[in-house]
Amino acid sequence: MGMSWHPEEFNCAHCHSSLVERGFVEEKDHVYCEICYEQFFAPTCARCSQKILGEVMNALKNTWHISCFVCVACQQPIRGNMFHLEDGQPYCEMDYYRLFGTNCHGCDFPIEAGDKFLEALGYTWHDTCFVCVVCSTNLEGQAFFSKKDKPLCKKHAHAVNV
């Protein structure tokens, strides 16, 4: 707290026990022994319902032990990594795309949150991947034709080799 203390005055703000040779926590401009901090200030983990003394994970409007905030599929801690929600449950990025993801029919890469995409010919495409197979003209929002489930522009609608 940027202050100096006489050893006999460096005490827990609640129980007044000496903090000279034990751990303490700063909270609201006061110092507390770990026991008082746990009892009065420590957040409760949303998974295990135990008090959190150490690193806290804040996610989904709750507090968690780092080891308790896990992917519901693989049960591995998510830590500071990206995660996705499905039915209110957290999934690590890898499991989310494995279980719920869709790959673009044009490039075979995942269609991720925020990507523009469209559905045509029974497949899902990135908006930039839905192109004529002959000339690569973008067909999003355009009239198109199909041959063997491959999109064609008007100009190449009757192309022989597709």
102-162, which class in CATH? mainly beta
CA dist 120 to 5, 112, 149, 150, 161, Å? 72, 18, 9, 10, 21
pLDDT at 159 over 70: yes
Identical fold, 7-40 and 102-162 = yes
56-100, which class in CATH? mainly beta
Per-residue pLDDT tens digits for 121-135: 999 999 999 999 999
Per-residue pLDDT tens digits for 5-23: 889 999 999 999 999 998 8
pTM above 0.95, yes or no: no
pLDDT at 44 over 70: yes
- Contacts of residue 97, defined as CB under 8 A and 6 or more positions apart, other chains included, come to 110, 112
Q: CA 21 to CA 10: how far, in whole Å? A: 10
Per-residue pLDDT tens digits for 69-118: 999 999 999 998 999 999 999 999 999 988 998 999 999 998 987 899 99
SS3 36: helix
Output the pLDDT for position 62: 96
pLDDT at 160 over 80: no
Per-residue pLDDT tens digits for 92-101: 999 998 899 8
Q: Which amino acid is at 37?
A: Y
Look at the domain 7-40 and name its fold.
Answer: Cysteine Rich Protein (2.10.110)
Domain boundaries, the chain: 7-40, 56-100, 102-162
